[in-house]
Amino acid sequence: MRTQVGIIGAGPAGLMLALLLRREGIDAVVLESRSRAYVEQRVRAGLLEQWARDLLVEIGAGDRLQREGMVHDGIRLSCLGRLHAIDFRALVGRTVTIYDQKEVVKDLIALLIERGGEVLFEAEATAVDGITRDAPAIRFRHGGAETTLDCDIVAGCDGFHGIARPAIPDGVLTVYERGYPFGWLGILSESPPPSDELIYAYHERGFALFSMRAPTVSRLYLQCAPDEDVERWSDARIFDELETRLGGSCALARGRVLQKGVTPMRSVVVEPMQHGRLFLAGDSAHIQPPTGAKGMNLAFADVVYLSRALVAHYRQGRSDGLDAYSRTCLDRVWKAQRFSWFMTQLLHRFPDETAFDRRRQLADITYLAGSTAAATALAENYSGLPLA
């Protein structure tokens, strides 16, 4: 097989890149190790920054998004029994949209296939060769046969545990990483959310997040140990703890629990995000705590930058965009990491914290609630910094 750009991974990054390239007449083939059904049902958070929502509409993948996406003007901070509003629309003129990542993936797959794009499901990439030469190749298994995809460029969009990042030789990459001494116990509940906006709650017993997936379906999270045994948490115990951490700031409806699980948290950035003709995007290159809601948005930003560079490469013979890809992406990535860390340390309880730390957190929250300048900085970062 032969194409111009070989893309490993049919997540948001890989699919968006394929669509952006197809729009510009650049050939690409997407290889995905899982089945289409698995990919379309894979549960992930789904919050879109304003520009990312606009991008989906612009490329033609926004019909369902515009009908079903839940637009939010801001967030609420819950602390000491009070709700504090951070109004993004009023502060920076932008909003965010709740729309499940699996629904985004469904829309992108359907559009890519409709436009004649090539996606091979159950095609497991096993090796990437020749990335420092002019003729890289991706070896993969599909339909019981070993096959090679020859290409000009390889885009590694296959997540942190994929094969793309390890294809870069030892000594080339620097990995920046930090773990967190907690995770999130999350449930999907058949109940209306407690507010029309997301609630980020600070409480002496730990952080809680009150989100939604539909007007009658809530997505709720509790800070917990990273290795928490979910079987120890009955539905009643979870709702009791959620009510406690809301601190009486608003009422919480209870409902049938549809899903339950624990998500560990970590921060990872690899530098550079490119080597030779291999370019990393999305979780292949960076992971951040979900507190800042940056995962899918950063993945889209990466491939917007990469698609621009590839268009200049194929249309004008320019290499400056490709050469600067890592530097351009990492500027945004580190700003997103900074914001995700800010939100995480603002609202979570740390095992080694002191009374001073707790008082400082409360001062941060009350400062945000009372300062237009501080609230504007949060709104700007949360709703999405402009693309370079």
Alpha carbon of residue 175 to chain centroid: 19
Same domain? For 201 and 311 the reply is: no
pLDDT at residue 267, rounded to an integer: 97
In a domain, 90, yes or no: no
Q: Which residue has the tokens 């979870």?
A: 238
Same domain? For 157 and 251 the reply is: no
CATH code of the domain in which 198 resides = 3.30.9.10
- The answer to whether 180 is a known catalytic residue is no
In a domain, 77, yes or no: no
Catalytic residue among 203, 221, 290, 313: 290
Q: What's the token pair of residue 201?
A: 């709650």
pLDDT at residue 351, rounded to an integer: 94
In a domain, 388, yes or no: no
pLDDT at residue 240, rounded to an integer: 97
Q: What are the C-alpha distances in Å from 135 to residues 4, 26, 30, 67, 294?
A: 10, 17, 18, 44, 34
- The answer to whether 290 is a known catalytic residue is yes
In a domain, 88, yes or no: no
pLDDT at residue 212, rounded to an integer: 92
pLDDT at residue 219, rounded to an integer: 95
HSE-up of 161 (CA within 13 Å, CB side)?
A: 1
Cβ–Cβ < 8 Å for 140, 31: yes
- The answer to whether 294 is a known catalytic residue is yes
Same domain? For 64 and 118 the reply is: yes
Catalytic residue among 200, 202, 305, 325: 200
Cβ–Cβ < 8 Å for 157, 7: yes
Buried b (16+ CB within 10 A) or exposed e, 210-222: bbbbeeeebbbbb
Q: What's the token pair of residue 265?
A: 């948290």
Which amino acid appears at position 258 of this protein?
L
Same domain? For 47 and 113 the reply is: yes
CA distance 251 to 370: 24
Catalytic residue among 72, 106, 203, 313: 72
Same domain? For 109 and 49 the reply is: yes
pLDDT at residue 147, rounded to an integer: 96
pLDDT at residue 44, rounded to an integer: 76
pLDDT at residue 59, rounded to an integer: 97
In a domain, 84, yes or no: no
CA distance 369 to 365: 6
In a domain, 76, yes or no: no
Number of C-beta neighbours around residue 87 at 10 A = 15
Same domain? For 47 and 151 the reply is: yes
303 burial (CB, 10 Å; 0-12 / 13-18 / 19+) is buried
Indicate the SS3 state at residue 37: helix
Rg (CA), the chain: 21
In a domain, 379, yes or no: yes
Same domain? For 307 and 363 the reply is: no
Same domain? For 38 and 125 the reply is: yes
- The answer to whether 382 is a known catalytic residue is yes
Catalytic residue among 203, 294, 313, 348: 294
Which amino acid appears at position 265 of this protein?
M
The closest of 357, 39, 35 to 202, measured between CA atoms, is: 357
Q: Write the DSSP symbol of residue 301.
A: H
Number of domains in the chain: 2
pLDDT at residue 42, rounded to an integer: 83
Which residues constitute the domain of residue 24? 5-71+97-176+267-343
The closest of 265, 267, 179, 273 to 222, measured between CA atoms, is: 265
In a domain, 199, yes or no: yes
Q: 0.75 cut: is pTM over it?
A: yes
pLDDT at residue 75, rounded to an integer: 97
pLDDT at residue 133, rounded to an integer: 86
| Averaged pLDDT, groups of 10, the chain, 388 residues long | 97 98 97 96 87 97 96 96 96 97 96 97 96 93 95 96 94 95 96 95 97 92 96 96 95 95 95 97 97 96 98 96 97 98 97 95 96 98 93
Same domain? For 134 and 250 the reply is: no
Residues 97-126 have pLDDT tens digits of 999 999 999 999 999 999 999 999 999 999
